[in-house]
Amino acid sequence: MKTIGLIGGMSWESSLEYYRLINEFVKSNLGGLHSAKSIMYSVDFDEIEKLQHKNQWKKASRILVKAGIGLEKAGADLIILCTNTMHKVAGDIEKNVNIPFIHIADATAEKIKKNRVKTIGLLGTKFTMEEDFYKGRLEKKHQLQVIIPTSTERQVVHDIIYEELCLGKIKNSSKNKFLKIIHGLEKKGAEGIILGCTEITLLVQQKDTKTKLFDTTKIHAEFAALSAISDFTVGVE
């Protein structure tokens, strides 16, 4: 079994979900007492968040590159970054490690294409919804048509993520705002919605809407877990 290196802490609530989902996947596929081999490097999200909003991405990148190098030195066989937004600096991490880096947008796009969806709505931080590192990757590399909310709606989504979800606050009023935005994207032609922030699943789940949701946390975690056990053969216990 390969060892998964996780760069976490952005936020710790979503990193907890990653750990749970990875281990549940391994257990359900291998049975018995099996669990995932993993190493987590958890950063201080307050430091990262301040750098994000000051547009100091190079400083934030150095922190995550250090985490990636540390995971490789600690024995990780592959790396995942447990956040959507910080994939803005994913290329820097990839350049500085010698082990595979599993990009969250690529894992999500593969899942979308398997569901034969071509037009997809995207929710996440303003960075994720508006910038080329994520939306552009889906469009250019995977030939998906991506629809995002209006400017006002993007601000609402962004604020709920940082001011509530990243602090562990779950409000029904915010859930209703998200569902309204989701249904608006569907009316614009979206065949499904990417929950493109690892905290959104804490607020909105598939049971809350008939619109097909693509939970990036679950997709990314299970893709990593499958990669870790793909060559694993269960021996005699």
Active site residues: 83, 197
Query: How would you list the strands of the sheet with 4-8, edge to edge?
Result: 38-42, 4-8, 78-81, 101-102
Six token digits for residue 124: 């996440």
Angle at CA of residue 224, ends 218 and 227, nearest 5°: 140
Would you say 151 and 118 are in contact if contact means Cβ atoms under 8 Å apart? Answer: no
Exposed / middle / buried, residue 37 (Cβ in 10 Å: 0-12, 13-18, 19+): middle
SS3 105: helix
Nearest residue to 17 (alpha-carbon basis) of 226, 228, 207, 202: 202
